[in-house]
Amino acid sequence: MRMIDYLDRGALLAPERTCLIDGNERMTYSEVVAASHNIAAGLLEGGIGSGSRAAILAPNSAAAFTAVLGVLRSGATWIPANVRATPVELAEQLTIGECAVLFYDPVLQDVAELLVQAVPTLTWSIPLDAMPSGTAEIPDVLEDSRREAILGFTGGTTGRPKALVASSRNVEAMTTALLAHVDIGSPPVYLAAAPLTHAAGILCFPVLACGGTILIHRTVDPGAILDAVERDGVTFLFLPPTAIYMLLAHPTVRGRDYSSLRAFVYAAAPMAPEKLRQALDVFGPKMVQLYGQSEAAMICTVLTAADHVTALAEAPHRLASCGRPSIVARVAVMAEDGTLLPQGEIGEVVIRSALVMEGYLGDPDPSVRAHGWHHTGDVGRIDEDGYVYLVDRKKDMIVTGGFNVFSAEVETAVLAHPAVAQCAVVGTPDPHWGEVVTAVVELLPDTTLDPDELIAHCKALVGGVKSPKRVEIWPKLPRSSVGKILKREVRDYFWQGAERRV
């Protein structure tokens, strides 16, 4: 299926059902389909269609998502542009992507004007309040399922960003896996508060295919999210763990009605087991974890709602896993020489699946396809029951006094302390040990913490070698637009001026 076919299927099921809600604005499926045709026709009349690329630069809104649908109906490629990126970063990405059209929210007009000047191929900029409308006939062509549908960007912190090519085949595999493993409601009501330029936007497409309603929030506002779940009968909610921690810290979180909620999905990072227990206690047996990455769309493994319940009752250690392979993925653990490792052994997590991107634009990277597998860069193991446990990122290994310490294991121990909201564990320079395990923590509101108390807490859980030797309390940890802790920025803070980083 083409990505636009999901909208058309939803319109076939329920043409007059509400498709998009954005504040006081509501659009039915019929209205969204008509808007997408008008935008696509306007683009085609302007010479934009198959082979062209169009970016949407805007905070979450119904207008922005409708522009995405118009771009997809025209046959052009969608470039999701991150509103939190700097104009320099955006200009580099759109130049690499040879972007021809930019849709933008009027509040970002200054940025749009800079991009028009900086990106040689960008010939048309369109404010969302003045989108094109035409009468050209929209061709209903058979599309190669591996054709470029989305051009996303990853990396860029250590060099030129890479453009990854995602196809309708990737989205179809993701949709199949989501609907097979997750009860999103019938029809679903999906609350999209995380950025639509990332996972929250891709998750809209299975909702459209079911004729569901997408409730769009501009930002992650814990109070507004809790209000919406009660008021609007939300059945399906997706947030990264850091945002879930914000919900759990909200003063009214335990006084709400969550009876409509069928699935509360978290991804982008694992949740600390203690925080996950709190979430299960508050929201009920509805938590679902998805594991994937930009290069392998979201659902390589699933820790289902039933898995959470079983783990809580019978196997609490499974709360630290990211589940078992989804029905569309084969997941294994590989040694450096390409040998697949047996259960229990630690190595790099590798994947074979239609979820895996088609490749990097103009920059094939054999390392991510070595030995016939997609290499995630994650270090992990698989237990005897097929559950996958992520131990760390390969680049996040801390070597202290000759011992290898996986920072993710230490972070789990730090997050088990009741005063800690979030943390990043990194190696910091030390003249004797080379580097020492250092925990940088963000506390829950109205709490205090003595660093020595946290060190003692971690020693009791992971031992002296792995426990932090240094603790810093920061008012706020740096985060990406999707809520991930930017560990590289934390690490760079401690290593600035050093001749080497290990």
> Number of structural domains, the chain?
3
Domain boundary pick from 393, 423, 450: 393
Domain boundary pick from 393, 410, 440: 393
Tokens representing 485 are 């802790």
Look at residue 196 and tell me if it is in a domain: yes
Please give the Cα distance from 454 to 423 (Å, whole number): 12
Examine the pLDDT at 434 and tell me if it is beyond 90. Answer: no
Per-residue H/E/C for 143-183: CCCCCEEEEEEECCCCCCCEEEEEEHHHHHHHHHHHHHHCC
Looking at the structure, do residues 304 and 427 belong to the same domain, yes or no? no
Looking at the structure, do residues 273 and 234 belong to the same domain, yes or no? yes
* pLDDT tens by residue, 189-220: 999 999 999 899 999 999 999 999 999 999 99
> Average pLDDT, stretch 288-307?
94
Look at residue 500 and tell me if it is in a domain: no
Look at residue 4 and tell me if it is in a domain: no
* pLDDT tens by residue, 303-361: 999 999 999 999 998 998 999 999 999 999 999 999 999 999 999 999 999 999 999 99
Phi-psi region of 268 (alpha: psi -120 to 50; beta: other; left: phi over 0): left
Looking at the structure, do residues 314 and 237 belong to the same domain, yes or no? yes
> Which CATH number does the domain housing residue 480 bear?
3.30.300.30
Range of the domain at 193: 170-393
Residue 465: per-residue pLDDT: 84
* pLDDT tens by residue, 1-17: 999 999 999 999 999 99
Domain boundary pick from 340, 366, 393: 393
Q: Answer yes or no: are the C-beta atoms of 85 and 63 closer than 8 Å.
A: no
Looking at the structure, do residues 362 and 489 belong to the same domain, yes or no? no
* pLDDT tens by residue, 60-100: 999 999 999 999 999 999 999 999 888 988 999 999 999 99
Strand pairing class (148-154; 213-216): unpaired
Looking at the structure, do residues 362 and 221 belong to the same domain, yes or no? yes
Question: pLDDT grade, residue 157 (50/70/90)?
Answer: very low
Among 59-68, 185-194, 459-468, the minimum mean pLDDT is found in 459-468
Tokens representing 157 are 């912190």
Distances 393 to 140, 348, 484 between C-alpha atoms, Å: 43, 9, 14
> Average pLDDT, stretch 294-300?
92
Look at residue 14 and tell me if it is in a domain: no
Please give the Cα distance from 354 to 296 (Å, whole number): 8
Among 31-35, 61-65, 364-368, the minimum mean pLDDT is found in 364-368
Looking at the structure, do residues 197 and 157 belong to the same domain, yes or no? no
CB atoms within 10 A of CB 472: 15
Tokens representing 245 are 């921690």
